Amino acid sequence: MPSDSVLRLVWIYPDLLSTYGDQGNVLVLEQRAERRGIPVETVHVRSADPVPENGDIYLIGGGEDRPQILASERLRRDGGLQRAVARGAAVLAVCAGYQIMGSTFGGEEGQPVDGIGLLDIASGRGAGRAVGELVAEVDPALGVPTLTGFENHMGVTRLGPGVRPLSRTVVGTGNGDGTEGCYAGKVVGTYLHGPALARNPGLADLLLTWATGTQLPPIDDTWFTRLREERLAAVVPRP
């Protein structure tokens, strides 16, 4: 992103995948960029509309099975997100959105449904629903503090060799194999709601750093820190 230009955020399909408050991720990115003097322009793309290719960061949230299937079909047909990633855009995909980034995911009867293939992952349905607080230690290469968030999904996700785990779970289920989320290039997927970026400002700053290509000055994170500490203190390990 050139230094004098606007940071473009693209919120994908609020009409289909906005069930779990993940739109908060957009607000956090807007706010953390603006507090650093970076002007922001946000586009909300409804599922009937084409996905613009000139965004810097794309966000896609969680949702229920049928809207998830519809969203995947439309994104596949549209191709705008895939072209944006090919030219270097960053993506934060949460839960249903995360599964859509892979090659396949489980539909409402567990049937395999095609994803859009931006991440080397395949998801299916697990034995039960994973619900509750999640804590995970992030890949040290990313320099992001411990993740905290809330998960609510049936899916389990298998990571292929083309991605790295985003983190290792300390509490909770995540991908279902001891890892949580994954990333490849500037595409990040996670099961975390909360919303994820309100609970993990370090992850927000990672996306902003990737998108702007600059080191960001620190900002006052008192309220984010209080929220993290409160949620971490409330976590009860699940059996």
- Backbone angles phi and psi of 205, in degrees to 5: -70, -30
The response to whether 129 counts as a known ligand-binding position is yes
Q: How far is the CB of 19 from ligand GLN (least distance, A)?
A: 7
Q: Are 139 and 184 in contact (CB under 8 A)?
A: no
Q: Say whether 153 is catalytic.
A: no
Q: How far is the CB of 214 from ligand GLN (least distance, A)?
A: 32
Q: How far is the CB of 218 from ligand GLN (least distance, A)?
A: 32
> Which span sits near ligand GLN by CB under 6 A: 74-82, 132-140, 150-158, 207-215?
150-158
The count of residues interacting with ligand GLN (CB under 6 A) is 12
- Backbone angles phi and psi of 97, in degrees to 5: -65, -40
Q: How far is the CB of 6 from ligand GLN (least distance, A)?
A: 30
Neighbours of 141 (CB within 10 A): 8
13, 20, 183, 210: which one binds ligand GLN (CB under 6 A): 20
End-to-end CA distance of the chain: 45
Pick the closer one to ligand GLN by CB: 38 or 71. 71
CB < 8 Å & 24+ apart, contacts of 38-41: 38/7, 38/208, 38/212, 39/6, 39/7, 40/6, 40/7, 40/8, 40/9, 41/6, 41/7, 41/8, 41/9
- Interface positions, 46-85, toward ligand GLN (CB under 6 A): 62-65, 68
7, 51, 96, 184: which one binds ligand GLN (CB under 6 A): 96
Q: Say whether 182 is catalytic.
A: no
Pick the closer one to ligand GLN by CB: 32 or 74. 74
Report d(CA 206, CA 154) in Å as an integer: 28
Q: Helix crossing, 24-34 with 201-212: angle to 10°?
A: 60
Q: Which residues pair with 137 in a beta bridge?
A: 168
Pick the closer one to ligand GLN by CB: 95 or 184. 95
Interface residues with ligand GLN (CB under 6 A) are 20, 62-65, 68, 95-96, 152-155
Indicate which residues carry an active-site annotation. Answer: 95, 193
